[in-house]
Structure 1
Amino acid sequence: MTSKFVLVSHVLCPYVQRVAIVLAEKGIVYQRIDIDLKNKPAWFLAISPLAKTPVLLVGEQAIFESSVICEYLDETRLPKLHPEHALLRARQRAWMEFGSSILSTIAGFYNAVDGQALSAKSQELHEKLKQLELLLQDGPYFSGLQFNLVDAVFAPVLRYFEVFETVFGIDFFADTPKVRTWWRHLAQRPSVKHAVGANYAELLLDFLKARPVMLVENYRQRLA
């Protein structure tokens, strides 16, 4: 580990993507180490009390939890990704928590084992996207022209919906054109593009195929 910054990662983890985006936006050179969360190495468990990714090693010090890592990076490296005004920062931090709640619903959606559960989670996701649709203004980003930390949080969230559309044929953005436009602008940023590998959608599909979930069953029936 020769780099001062080392990001301990899992290839599909959306929380890792947040940190990777922030590191890239700040121009920080770092080393990325992907681990298998099904076979966690002892050295990883020694630095990650919650046994989760991401972990950022800063020299000999380990920082865990994506929100803490992102806040640390924003406090110590330019350019600042949080607004200067305290009330705007608080507002964006609140919506960042909303982004995390969407990730939890997404997990419930792709882990649904029957049609009823899948439909319920799908409806919940549509409702949350509608809340964002009412919030967004002219863009291209969450608060206008400036890319902020809140955008780094939502980029991995919105990436899931692109995969759901391109791979599974489910268009979550049909009724939320502002959210779709927001994602299109985010997807063009190099930091967002390179937060995952080129084979991200394929890896996500393989991950889901290994699980007895309704989303994959519908996918197989559609291909039959």
Structure 2
Amino acid sequence: MIKKLTLVSHVLCPYVQRAVIALKEKKVEFERIDIDLANKPDWFLKISPLGKTPVLLVDGQPIFESAVICEYLEDTQTPALHPADPLQRARHRSWMEFASATLNAIGGLYGAQDAKTFDTKAAEINSKFRQLEAELTAAGHQGPFFDGATFRLVDGAFGPVFRYFDIFDTIGDFGVFTDVPRVRQWRSALQRRPSVRDAVQLNYPDLLHAFLLKRNSEISRRMQDVAALTA
């Protein structure tokens, strides 16, 4: 029996994007409900013990945490988005955790309060991308995706990582993609993937732009400088 799936989400949450990408790749019908995390409704707090999105309701039964949601979908829906080989599957899961660590580093970048801290965080992200580049090189990566021609869950984990830079690139070159040609190629392929492209609302760039401006951080000031130059 086909179960009713409802995804409770927040419009800017990168982990929500992971779940949406998996749902779209598996061509699963689902309802999406966006909430305001600054004003969480009581019903949401009852289904989300951690108070975070995403939450997937399966016939009303809540599943929380994006990794768990993706694994549930992998267990119940086709096509498979993990490799069949156990070792390769574990490798992919490991790099999905690396994607989460990279998202944390991106949070540190846009939260940096001064130029020195900002540059340090940008260098940290470049270091992570160099580690990723080394992994792709060692694996004989030919693209377009992490595992070659087949889109996997690990690709869905990095789609939201790279999406931040669609906005960041309009602010300036932070040097995060220096000397990582395979990573740049992968990013470009994910930008064109329909499931990744459509994992956010059409006004996502405007919403992220507004969010960053309100941070009162180094990136906010750089955005204001760019706006002043183009005014």
What is the aligned partner in structure 1 of residue 110 from structure 2?
110
Deviations 1:35-59 (A, max 9, x none): 0010000000000000000000000
Aligned positions of 1:80-119 closer than 5 A: 80-119=80-119
Cα distance between partner residues in 2 of 1:33 and 1:223: 33
SS class of match (1:32): strand
What is the aligned partner in structure 2 of residue 19 from structure 1?
19
Q: Gaps spanning 5+ residues in structure 2: where?
A: none
Cα distance between partner residues in 1 of 2:191 and 2:181: 15
Aligned positions of 1:170-189 closer than 5 A: 170=173, 172-189=176-193
Deviations 1:116-139 (A, max 9, x none): 111110110011111111222111
What is the aligned partner in structure 1 of residue 56 from structure 2?
56
Q: Gaps spanning 5+ residues in structure 1: where?
A: none
| Runs of 4+ more than 4 Å apart | none
Q: Which residue identity does 1:168 align to in structure 2?
A: I
What is the aligned partner in structure 1 of residue 147 from structure 2?
143
Identity %: 52
Question: What is the CA distance between 1:173 and its match in structure 2?
Answer: 2.3
Q: 180, 195, 214: which one pairs with 2:218?
A: 214
Aligned length: 221
Deviations 1:159-192 (A, max 9, x none): 1122211x21225324222111111111111111
Cα distance between partner residues in 2 of 1:66 and 1:33: 15
Cα distance between partner residues in 1 of 2:211 and 2:165: 16
Cα distance between partner residues in 2 of 1:5 and 1:182: 30
Please, what is the CA RMSD of the aligned residues?
Answer: 1.2
How high is the TM-score relative to the length of structure 2?
A: 0.93
SS class of match (1:7): strand
Question: What is the CA distance between 1:223 and its match in structure 2?
Answer: 2.9
Q: Which residue identity does 1:93 align to in structure 2?
A: R
Cα distance between partner residues in 1 of 2:55 and 2:88: 27
Aligned positions of 1:4-15 closer than 5 A: 4-15=4-15
SS class of match (2:38): coil
Q: Which residue identity does 2:205 align to in structure 1?
A: A
How high is the TM-score relative to the length of structure 1?
A: 0.95
What is the aligned partner in structure 2 of residue 37 from structure 1?
37
